[in-house]
Amino acid sequence: MNTELQSDQDDWMIDDDASDQPLLADARPWRVLIVDDEADVHAVTRLVLSGVVFKNRSVELLSAYSGNEGFEVLAKVPDIALVLLDVVMETDDAGLQLVRRIRDELNNHLVRIVLRTGQPGQAPEERVIVDYDINDYKAKTELTKQKIFTTVISSLRAYEGLVTIERSRIGLSNILNSTSNLYELRSLQEFASGVLNQVNALLDLGAQGAMCVLHDPRQYGEQGPAVLAATGQYSDLVEQKFLPADHPYFDLVSQVLKEKKNLHLFAVSALFIHADLGGNMVIILKPNCPLAELQCSLLSVFCDRIGAAFENLQMFGQLQCAQEATVVSLADLAESRDSDTGGHIQRVAKLTDAIARRLHADGKYADEFTPRFLSCVGLASMLHDIGKVSTPDAVLLKPGKHTPEERRIMEQHVQVGEAVLRRAARSVAGVSHLTFGAEIAGGHHEHFDGQGYPRQSKGVEIPLSARIVAVVDVFDALLHRRPYKEPWPLSEVSDYLKARKSTQFDPEVVDALLSFVESEKPDWLVGSGH
């Protein structure tokens, strides 16, 4: 041990109370690493800092006896707040080299470093302060008990400030990233699940459970908040749909909805999310420990961002409803020209949706299926004959066989429908029902072998949406009465489709349709037109 330190040790031990703050049992301690090759220095430092409490957190002391050992400890323990570091150990500059390694190799710029030396001449203070990223430089001879205490507390306070800034930066970055992902979710349940996932990720607390409820009297009347998503101990609530009035947090949810603000209690936090278009969401969280002030602040920012995403979801829903209503109206217009079809377009829509999902589940045409395709293709199929609004009644409703000229006129409905829908689709951003409707209208009379019309496309050149509707349209038309024919038995319709696999029809689609009909036997398959 350095003789100067030995001689001055009595000054170190000046009686001075460190702190009388109460210690919270669940608070993580401040970790302080002593790096010094002399055991007495470790012993004296531990004696001086014994029982020190700062911000209701105790001080935990770790020891290393060389620069290399200190590096290993720092590499394994990432949340060390302060290093009390000797300069001269295994080499004359071992402490200085460790400073370099902490900042450069570990990329740790948060930990505070205080150099302590018994040989100031080995490393002059002015040069060390300028050349090395340290926070203080002390000769061991000047380190009394009071000065050690002051140095440690000021270093911990500085570390806390840096950690707060870094957590704010990371938290805000996570908020921006998470909420941007939420903007892409289109269903209310998906959105709510995404919110819970992002809250848990943002807090990184391993929440015991969380739930997201929606209060929207326009949608649910007076039935109470609807449970949209839940995790952990609340998972079963999703099946109940509504939050029971006797649930322990029912009153808390009601209070948050009434006061329209976040509430943070000791064991639970309730977050309020508002959207101007109507409906309010409440998120209930059960963290493992009370949230810090910074976490509460970040959650407030998060809720504001979520509110904007929630409103975006509502606007998307309104646009979606408007678009679907437009599609149905257009389809009804087309079907009104031929009342004898008897619900044809509705059955085509159901079958198209079912066949698409069957193909997707079986792994067929995996590259062509997207979530948007699956959500749109059923409704879009209702537009397959929209071009018939331009077909003269004498041709459209003729009970007998068409002449070549009449057939040419009838076939024009394909191009008319496709052209009308493509023009409409250009007014809607992205892929919409109208996009798939145009594909279907223009391609549902193409044949798999290239012998159809209007372009003689073949195989996968024909859009998948059109290949599905081509099968479904013929299947339903044969199964039901038309002006020119009586309904066929299901067995004959099945034989007809099987006979035309790989010529007129996509064989995978035919197999999927027949499999669906055989396994599901839907009661809507044969309607009043049979």
Place of tokens 């279907």: 440
Find the mean pLDDT for residues 344-352.
Answer: 91
**pTM across the whole model:** 0.51
Instruction: Tell me the three state secondary structure of residue 210.
Output: strand
CATH number given to 337-520? 1.10.3210.10
In CATH terms, 3-166 corresponds, of 3.30.1300.10, 3.40.50.2300, 2.40.70.10, 3.90.400.10, to: 3.40.50.2300
H or E stretch including 60? strand 57-64
Q: Where are the chain's structural domains?
A: 3-166, 185-315, 337-520
- Plot region of 206 (φ>0 → left; ψ -120 to 50 → alpha; else → beta): left
User: For residue 85, what are the β-bridge partners?
Assistant: 35, 115
Active-site annotation holder among 388, 398, 498, 521: 388
* Angle between helix 433-443 and 464-479 (nearest 10): 60
Architecture of domain 185-315: 2-Layer Sandwich (3.30)
Number of H helices, E strands in the chain: 20, 11
85-99, 190-204, 440-454: range with highest mean pLDDT: 440-454
pLDDT in tens, 168-200: 566 555 545 554 554 454 567 777 777 777 777
Residue 511 pLDDT level (bands cut at 50, 70, 90): very high
Q: Could you report the per-residue pLDDT of 308-334, keeping only the tens digit for each? A: 777 766 666 666 666 777 777 777 777
pLDDT of residue 212: 83
Pure H helices in 94-144: 94-104, 125-131
Banded model confidence at residue 514, pLDDT cuts 50, 70, 90: very high
Average pLDDT of 413-439? 88
Structure confidence at residue 185 (pLDDT): 45
Q: What are the tokens at 241?
A: 């749909």
* Single-letter amino acid, residue 330: L
Quick check: do 3-166 and 337-520 share a fold? no
DSSP 8-state symbol, 482: B
> Annotated catalytic, 388?
yes
